[in-house]
Amino acid sequence: MPRLSDTAPFLHPDCDITDSHFGRFVEIGRGSRVAYSEVGDYSYCDRYADIANAEIGKFSNIASYVRIGATDHPMEKASLHHFHYRSGDYFDDAAPDTEWFAHRRRRRASIGHDTWLGHGAQVRPEVTIGHGAVVAGGAIVTKDVAPYTIVAGIPAKPLRRRFPEEVAGAMQTLEWWDWPHDRLRAALEDFRTLSAVSFLEKYA
């Protein structure tokens, strides 16, 4: 793993980045595509992730082949095919349908802080993944996921809470993901060794 920076994201080879912004200590895995998105501090994605029209919080853990904000085709129109919105690729005298692309970009997915999206998971446009939530590998998330909830399946459904409700609430109140870098370093051993409850007893 590379030494990460607070000044620029670490982009592995063959990344495709379009109109996106990255926080501090961010890593984007080999071959990943990030378009029209915001990626918060300390978040990373592994190889070949595909992220579009999304707000990614801090400390998000995104596995290989995850897709966030997959764009739709116009199912209500006579044809699904992109010849009628990527028209310049097919006709010399036709322009792209800019309103269709603007419509897609308005449909933002939101991924909370300290989340984990497993290998091959998909998050649909306009879905919110709450802070601390876990999405199992291969899941397709079509509805919002509550904070500190673990979901799995197609479509994704809750399996269980990651923490009891009172612990989850206290974690969200603590907001450790907003701590400055030096405070994270000072608490590093406690992040490694303490349970969530013990951590809250010490820091909340």
The answer to whether domain 10-72+107-162 has CATH 2.50.20.10 is no
Cα maximum dimension of the chain:
67
Look at residue 122 in the predicted model and tell me its pLDDT. Answer: 98
C-beta of residue 56 within 8 angstroms of C-beta of residue 111: yes
Report the distance separating Cα 131 and Cα 185, nearest Å. 21
Report the distance separating Cα 47 and Cα 33, nearest Å. 10
pLDDT tens digit sequence for 18-65? 999 999 999 999 999 999 999 999 999 999 999 999 999 999 999 999
pLDDT tens digit sequence for 156-189? 999 999 999 999 999 999 999 999 999 999 999 9
Q: Which of 61, 186, 68, 41 is nearest to 127 (CA)?
A: 68
* Range(s) within the chain of domains with CATH label 2.160.10.10: 10-72+107-162
Report the distance separating Cα 11 and Cα 173, nearest Å. 32
pLDDT tens digit sequence for 83-112? 989 999 999 999 999 998 888 899 999 999
Look at residue 91 in the predicted model and tell me its pLDDT. Answer: 95
Report the distance separating Cα 40 and Cα 176, nearest Å. 14
